[in-house]
Amino acid sequence: MQFASINGVTLHYQLIGAPEGKPILVFANSLGTDLRIWRDVILRLVGDFAVVTYDMRGHGLSDLGTPPYSINDHVDDLAGLLDYLEVKSAVICGLSVGGLVAQGLYAARPDLVRALILCDTAHKIGTAETWAARIAAVKKDGIASIADNIFKLWFTPAFHAQRGEELAGYRNMLVRQPTDGYTGTCAALSGADFTAAAGRIAVPTICIVGDQDGSTPPDLVLQLAKLIPRSRYEVIKDAAHIPCVEQPEALSAVMRAFIDEFQLGEKS
């Protein structure tokens, strides 16, 4: 296991493969998950890249810091981690809030971003009201009290019917996140709006979404793609909000095609 103290917060991360001579692919997780969600995608891409994954503050084995957070707290953590690892420029793949962090990283530190893979995310996710209601529910009754509803957003009915063991494991992942880390990140989501910034993105970008995503549905992700000049848009079949878990083969194939189109698999 690897840990780094970034902005006074211990972050859990994994660097897989040697960065020297290889392009770097960085993965940022979604609300209520940790770096383990990327495993089956990483296995399909790791030969050609060095890979960095990490647990956002308040999630996984990373410190809590001082919640509630702003999206810039998460952005500063990722920038700090890349500086710590002496990564000069990387392909940043972010899922949901991780995609907002990726957009924020580009806005704050474009030097660190060679390309963006924005997965099941948007320029703005939810409203102040929906996040306030979720924060209140979790503070009152805990994450477990909302888990069934969250899982309808995360996974398709087919996943629920056929992949019960994984469902149970991912439920453990969700309910074991620190309550303050989870609600702290809901606050960050509430305040994050990259609508104006999206039009200034000038690196190769692809927006990807599961066809049954109940959290950031295809229409919303298409709106994001339309805001970003020359970006690509792809829909993953038979997936909801977490295609890296539900359809890793299809997601990595889309990522691979994007990587090849822009020759991102070659060291810049």
Q: Contact positions toward ligand LWBT4IAB, by CB under 6 A? A: 30-32, 96-97, 125, 150, 153, 189, 215, 241
Which residue shows structure tokens 């000049």? 229
Q: How far is the CB of 186 from ligand LWBT4IAB (least distance, A)?
A: 8
How far, in whole angstroms, is CA 92 from its chain's centroid? 9
Pairing of strands 232-236, 24-28: unpaired
The tokens of 131 are what? Answer: 């996040």
> CB 4 → ligand LWBT4IAB: shortest distance, Å?
22
What number of CA atoms fall less than 13 Å from residue 120's CA on the CB side?
27
| Closer CB to ligand LWBT4IAB, 49 or 194, in the complex | 194
Q: How far is the CB of 18 from ligand LWBT4IAB (least distance, A)?
A: 30
CB of 25 to ligand LWBT4IAB, least distance (A): 19
Tell me the C-alpha to C-alpha distance, in Å, between residue 121 and each of 47, 88, 90, 251, 260.
27, 25, 19, 14, 23
Closest to ligand LWBT4IAB by CB, 12 or 74: 74
Task: Count CB neighbours of 38 within 10 A.
Answer: 25
Cis status of the peptide bond prior to 68, with omega within 30 of 0: yes
Q: To the nearest whole angstrom, how small is the minimum distance from the Cβ of residue 111 to ligand LWBT4IAB?
A: 25
Q: Considering beta carbons, is residue 121 or 252 the nearer one to ligand LWBT4IAB?
A: 121
Kindly tell me which of 50 and 117 has the beta carbon lying closer to ligand LWBT4IAB: 117
- The whole-angstrom distance between residue 106's C-alpha and the CA centroid of its chain comes to 14
Q: Which is nearer to ligand LWBT4IAB, 63 or 120 (CB)?
A: 120
